[in-house]
Chains A and B, each alone.
Chain A
Amino acid sequence: MSGREFAERGADLELVGIQKRFPGFTAIEELDLTIPAGSFFALLGPSGCGKTTTLRLVAGLEEPTQGRILIGGRDVTDTKAHQRPVNTVFQSYALFPHMSIIENVAFGLKRRRMDDPMGKAHEALKLVELDHLAQRRPAQLSGGQQQRVALARAIVNRPALLLLDEPLGALDLKLRRQMQLELKTIQEEVGLTFLHVTHDQEEAMTMADTVAVMNKGAIEQMGAPEELYELPRTAFVANFLGKSNLFTGDVVGTTSEALSVDVAGHRITVPVARAQRHQGLVTVGVRPEKVALHLEAPDAASTRNVLGPGRVIDVSFAGVSTEYIVAVPGAGTLSVFAQNVGFGPVAHEGDEVWVSWQVEHGFGLADEPEESDRFPADDDTRSIAVQRREALISELEGS
C-alpha cells in the first residue's frame, strides 16, 4: 500500500490464469477467479487442495509461477506483501508475543504512518469487545480472544481485501458458531471484501455469499451455497458438501423435460434442466434428506422415483433425525435422513422397505462416470462396515 489513506471500500479480486508449482508438486493447476467487491467469498476444499496456497499468493507471501493477480483492477503480481492493500488473519493468529495487544493492533497503522494509530487501534479493539485487555500480552488471552485480536489487527487497517486462513479452526464448536456470526456481522458493518479459506463445509455455507469448492488445485464448482448444495455438478462437490446418493447408468429415454436412466434394472428419472449430461453413461443423484422411506410398496407415480424393495442394514439415531442405510439390490446402498417427527425410528434393521423421491429433487452430474467411483461415498468407514456385514450375511445365507 503506497498511500497513507484507508481503502474506502472493498475491492474486487481477480486471479487470471494462476499456476503455482513447488519443487516436486503443483499446488495450483490453473485458476481463474473473480471475487466482486464487498462480497464474502469462501474457498472450500480438503487439505492439500491448494486453497491456502491461493490465499498466500493473494497476500503476496508466495509468488505465482504463472498468471496475474489484480486487486481493484490494479496488477499487484510483482509487488511485495507489505505493498499490497491486503491483510490476513492467520490460522495460528500469529500475534506478536513480545508486544501488548494494543501494540499488536497498532502495528500495521504505525508501519503506514497513519495518524493516531493508538486511537484507531482502541476503536478496533472495541469492535471485537476486547478493549479492556489492551495492555495484556497475547499469551494471557484465550484462543477465542486471540482470534478476535488477530481479526482486529487486520481490519484496523481497512484493507481492500481481508484474507481469512481457517481462523476458526482452533476453536471449539460453540465458540466457532459465535465467531462465525461475529465475523459475518463485522463484514457487513465494515463492507470489506472477505476471502475465507476453510475445509469446514458448514462454516463456508453459513458465512459466505459465494462458495468455490476446490479440489486438486482447481475450482470444481462455484456459486451460492444453496445452489451448490441443491445442484452439485460433480461427484466431488456432491459428497464434499453434505452427502449424496449417487447412481450410474445409461440414459434410456429422453423427453423434453426429463431423462430416464437405467440403473441395474431400476428406472430413475431426472429433470433435463438439472442434468449436466444428456446421453450415454451418466451419474445421477439425490440428497439423503429428500428421500422418503416406505414400509409398504408406494403407488407408482410419474412424479416420484421409487426404488425397492430393499433392506434396512443400519439405523443411527441422531436426535433431530435418523439416518437409515438401505441396501437396494442392484442399485447399491442409499442413505436416508428422516426427521424424527414421531417417536424414534420408524424402521429397524432387517426391515423390508422402499425408498422414493420426487423427480425434481434429483440431479445429474457432469463427471465422466468412468473417472469417478461408482459410489464415491463408499470409502468412509461406516459404508465399509456395512458392506462387510452385507457380504458376511450373504455368505452365511448361501451356505
Chain B
Amino acid sequence: MSGEAQAGAVLGGLAGSEELEQRRPPQAPRRRRVGLGDWLLPVYVTIAFVFLLIPIAYTFVFSFNDSIKSNISWRGFTFDKWLNVCNVEGGAVCEAFGNSIVIALVSTVAATTLGTMIAIALVRYRFRARSAISLLLFLPMATPEVVLGAGLAAQFLAVGVPKDMLTIILAHTMFCISFVVVTVKARVASLDPALEEAGRDLYGSPRAVFWRVTFPLLVPGIMAAALLAFALSFDDFIITNFNSGSVTTFPKYVYISASRGIPAEANVIASAVFILALAIVVIAQVSRAARAKRLANAAG
C-alpha cells in the first residue's frame, strides 16, 4: 500500500502528490511524507512573483513620494504628485503623455484598418505571391527594432521629410500592421466559410454579407489586434526615438529624465495607466462571467 503510494507520488510529480493523497480512502491512515515539492514549489512561485511585481510596486509606491528633485529615496507620503501631475516642468510629463495617446490612437486605427483588410485578403483570396506577402509581413516582427528605427530614420532623411508627430505615426503604423495581420488572420481562418455563403444565399449583397456577417464575427479578433497595436505603439521607445525629432512621447520623456532622476509625476502616470489596464481586465472578466451565467440560466 505505502509502496504503491510512493510510486504514485513519484509518478504524480512534485505538484501532484498532495492531490493523490486526498483521493486515498480515509480508512487507510498512513504517515504523511513531507516531500521536496511541498516547500520547493511555493518558495519558487513566491520568488518568481516578487521578482515580477517589485518594479510595479516600486513605481506605484514612489508615486506618493514627497520627492524634491530625484525620486530615489523615500521622503514621506504625499498626494501632491497625483493632484498636480501636470504642473511640474511646465507640464512636460502630461504633454508627452498626450502625444503618446494621440500617436497610439491614430496608428492603431490606421494599422488595424489596413491590417484587417490584408488579413482577409490573405486568407480568403488566392492571388500571385500570396505566400511571399505573408512572409514579408512577418519580417518587421523579426527585425531588431534598432535596425528598423535607424533604417526608417535614414529613409525620412533621404526623402527630406521633417521628423515630427507624422513620422512617428507612420513608423508605428508600419510595425503594428504586422501584428494586426497575424492576429486577425487567425480569426479569419477559423471563420466557417459556410456562414458567408449562407449570407449570400439569404439574399445578402456582398456589402451586406461583409457588414452583417463577416465583420461582426471578426470583431473579437480585430479588438484584440487593436489593443495589441495600441499597447505596442504606446510604449515603443526605440523606433520612436529615431523618428521623433523634437516631439517627446511618454517613454522618451521617462528615458531622458532617467539620467537626472525621474520625477514622481512619471510614476503617477505609469501607475495610472497600470491601474486603468487592470480595471479594464477586471471589468471584462466580470462582465464575461455575468454573461456566461445569464446564458446558462436562459438555456437551463
Say whether A associates with B: yes
A153 to B203, CA, bound (A): 12
Question: Which of B195, B197, B203 counts the most A-chain CB atoms under 10 A from its CB?
Answer: B203
Interface residues, chain B, with chain A CB atoms under 8 Å away: 192, 194-195, 197-205, 208-209, 212-213, 216-217, 295, 298-299
Interface residues, chain A, with chain B CB atoms under 8 Å away: 1, 59-61, 80-82, 86-88, 90-92, 94-98, 107-108, 111-112, 135-137, 140, 153, 157
Contacting residues, chain A, for B295 (C-beta < 8 A):
137, 140
A91 to B198, CA, bound (A): 11
Can you list 27 A-B contacts with CB-CB less than 8 angstroms, sorted by A residue number? A59-B197, A59-B201, A60-B200, A61-B201, A80-B200, A81-B201, A82-B204, A82-B209, A87-B201, A88-B198, A88-B201, A90-B194, A90-B197, A94-B192, A94-B194, A94-B195, A95-B198, A97-B195, A107-B199, A107-B202, A107-B212, A108-B202, A111-B203, A111-B205, A136-B299, A140-B295, A140-B298
Question: Which of B194, B197, B201, B208 counts the most A-chain CB atoms under 10 A from its CB?
Answer: B201
Contacting residues, chain B, for A87 (C-beta < 8 A):
201-202
Report the minimum CB–CB distance from B96 to chain A (whole Å).
Answer: 40
CB-CB under 8 A for A81 and B217, given A94-B194, A136-B298: no
Given contacts A81-B200, A90-B197, A94-B197, 4 further A-B contacts (CB under 8 A): A82-B202, A94-B195, A140-B295, A140-B298
Report the minimum CB–CB distance from A61 to chain B (whole Å).
Answer: 5
A137 to B208, CA, bound (A): 21
Contacting residues, chain B, for A112 (C-beta < 8 A):
203
Report the minimum CB–CB distance from B151 to chain A (whole Å).
Answer: 40
Report the minimum CB–CB distance from A160 to chain B (whole Å).
Answer: 13
Contacting residues, chain A, for B194 (C-beta < 8 A):
90-92, 94
A1 to B203, CA, bound (A): 7
Closest Cβ neighbor of B205 among chain A residues? A82
Leading 5 A-B pairs by shortest Cβ distance: A108-B202, A94-B198, A94-B194, A81-B200, A111-B203
Closest Cβ neighbor of B195 among chain A residues? A94
Report the minimum CB–CB distance from A80 to chain B (whole Å).
Answer: 7
Question: Which of A60, A90, A137 counts the most B-chain CB atoms under 10 A from its CB?
Answer: A90
User: Contact at A98–B217, with CB atoms within 8 Å?
Assistant: yes
Closest Cβ neighbor of B194 among chain A residues? A94
A316 to B298, CA, bound (A): 49
A47 to B226, CA, bound (A): 43
User: Contact at B198–A90, with CB atoms within 8 Å?
Assistant: yes
A98 to B216, CA, bound (A): 7
CB-CB under 8 A for A82 and B200, given A97-B217, A98-B216: yes
User: Contact at A108–B299, with CB atoms within 8 Å?
Assistant: no
User: Contact at A81–B205, with CB atoms within 8 Å?
Assistant: no
Contacting residues, chain B, for A140 (C-beta < 8 A):
295, 298-299
A262 to B233, CA, bound (A): 86
User: Contact at B200–A153, with CB atoms within 8 Å?
Assistant: no
Closest Cβ neighbor of B209 among chain A residues? A82
Report the minimum CB–CB distance from B300 to chain A (whole Å).
Answer: 10
